[in-house]
Chain A
Amino acid sequence: MAAVNAELRFEHVSFSYGTVPALRDVSFALAPGERAALLGRNGAGKSTLLRLVTGLLHPAEGSVSVGDWETRGRPPESLARRVGSVFQHADQQLFARSLRDDVAFGPRALGHGAAEVARRVDTALAALELSAQAAEHPYDLPPAFRKLATLAGALALEPAVLVLDEPTAGLDRPLRARVARALADRAAAGVVVLVATHDLAFAAEVLERGLVLDRGRLAGDAPLAALLTSSGRLAPLGLAPPTGAALSAALDLPGRPVRQRDVANTLARVAAARGPV
């Protein structure tokens, strides 16, 4: 399943809603397989940045490109070949009688044949362990599953870039883990994953780089682990280190791991060295 690999690049991008500036001179690049968290207060420009990637908005200055495609002049339905997106309250876009039909909407709209559509739908549903609910009516499922369905719909586009806005809002821990696995799997296959989120525990598990927006400017671009263990850099964003990172700092674990598995392994190693607790 050769997803076309493409880099996501912002070059000096500025955008304003009327006279109100939303993004000011933002530049960064995400190589295929990179997984970034987009952090910042509400109103810092996160949603605007994600909408610029999908082509719903086009930059006033500078350029946004997905591989060799510049988004300027391309409508969202054309960029959908390379960019999969899930915005907030996305479950309100569902309308098919079964989960399978809804996930198939994207591939069909892109003009793929029945066999290719079926393959993509099965793969996307399997990636989020939704195959058992494929025949269910989306509105008969709990809201959390409808949210997963919209993510499956984006995965079914088999895009080169995935942009997600708060994908874990309203999900419980096992479902958050499913989303983490699916995104890690896509990134391993070369997809660029960009996630705007407040859920730092989720970010710690699956994302590796942190882009910080503050009042429309790119205030920070650093490895996520460094960001997550520094309450000094998170506090101005109204954020605090997730529990795993906080534990790692509190117990002064070497290397300051942030992923739960890594924190547990480091803890076990250090405990063994110290003798029984």
Chain B
Amino acid sequence: MSVRLLVLIPAAAAMSLALSAAVDAVALPLFLDTTGTVLATALAGPGAGIATGVLTSAVNTLRNPTFWPFVVVQVIVALYAWLAARAGLFRSLRTAVPAGLGLGVLAAATSTPISYVVFGCTTTGGIALTTALGRALGLPPLGACFFGSFVADFGDKAVTFALVTSVLHALPRRTAARFPWALRAVGAA
């Protein structure tokens, strides 16, 4: 592991958590806390991505004590982003956003059992309220919980993939050439 790639991981993790300042400015219900995980995977492969995801969860737990069980979701996101990068899905928004929506479903499906078992579907206020709405619509408990997580997750992951795509395309030539996976992720390898 070169020092350069080693430096990328905590930088990407901290950057994910710092993005909350941008999200707050535009008042959108997004987390973007897997941006670093997806970006590190698209730039340096699954190893860097998983490490970034785990690190993001570890540091995030200190701010939101209830978030550490979702380290599993970060690992799933890294693996999914690896497949997307190998398929060069970051080459344009047209391929990246649908991939992001797909990840949204997968992330919701992964976080639902965790949310159900650990939190009784009250991970965040938003998820609890949408779960209650699901129950009111007659969905079974687990189904309602999935509905709650899905509404929170699918938009977030789609925007995350779109953001990573525009980052990869905005990268200067010199920086992109230095990361092993960047060119393949945008389908230019």
Instruction: List residues of A whose CB falls within 8 A of some B CB.
Output: 95-97, 137-140
Contacts and interface: CB of A to CB of B under 8 A. Distances in A.
14 contacts: A95-B170, A96-B170, A97-B169, A97-B170, A137-B172, A137-B173, A138-B172, A139-B171, A139-B172, A139-B174, A139-B175, A140-B172, A140-B173, A140-B174
Contacts of B170: 95-97
Per DSSP, are chain B's interface residues mostly helix, strand or loop, or mixed? helix
B161 to A, nearest CB: 18
A138 B171 CA distance: 10
Contacts of A96: 170
Interface in B162-179: 169-175
A129 B174 CA distance: 24
B6 to A, nearest CB: 22
Contacts of B174: 139-140
A145 to B, nearest CB: 13
B34 to A, nearest CB: 20
A80 to B, nearest CB: 15
A138 B173 CA distance: 11
Contacts of A97: 169-170
Greatest chain A CB density within 10 A among B171, B172, B173, B174 is at B172
A95 B175 CA distance: 14
Given A137-B173, A138-B172, 8 more contacts: A95-B170, A96-B170, A97-B169, A97-B170, A139-B171, A139-B172, A139-B175, A140-B174
